[in-house]
Amino acid sequence: MNDLYDKAKQVLPHSYAKYSQFKVAAAIRLIDGSIITGVNVENASFGLTNCAERTALFTAYTQGYRKEDITEMVITTEKDYLISPCGACRQVMSELMTPETPVHMITSDGKVTTVQNKELLPLAFQESDL
């Protein structure tokens, strides 16, 4: 997990947080050992902002990976307190990662909180609900 945290910290400065000044970075490990990162990218029309978690996941899917290929995710910010994924990210994560995928939320001073993906959004809206 330390290498994922290091990768997320490396890309954190690339976050485009012009409006909120709230930088977020994510890194996911894939079953083949590769790591994909993402940062949040804001927009003046706030609803069009994309979060770091979704950026990383969408990049992985663009490269042909799927939920079974994702072994863990790290999320970090410049804050020294726990930050968890927003509701939109939780919904996307519930579909694009397995329920058991570990999600590590790491503060700027290195404190780690780990949960399984399924714990982030109990009763998630799923394909079976359509």
Domains of the chain by start residue, with CATH? 2-123 (3.40.140.10)
Q: Give me the residues paired with residue 39 across strands.
A: 25
- Active-site residue, selected from the candidate residues 42, 53, 100, 127: 53
pLDDT in tens, 64-113: 999 999 999 999 999 999 999 999 999 999 999 999 999 999 999 999 99
Does residue 44 carry a pLDDT above 90? yes
Catalytic residue list contains 53 = yes
Residue the block writes with tokens 């001073």: 109
Q: Give me the residues paired with residue 77 across strands.
A: 24
Record the tokens describing residue 13, joined without a space. 């400065």
Record the tokens describing residue 19, joined without a space. 């409006």
8 Å CB contact between 99 and 70: no
Amino acid at 106: I
pLDDT of residue 54: 97
Rounded Cα gap, residues 74 and 129, in angstroms? 29
Provide the pLDDT confidence category of residue 27 given band limits of 50, 70 and 90: very high
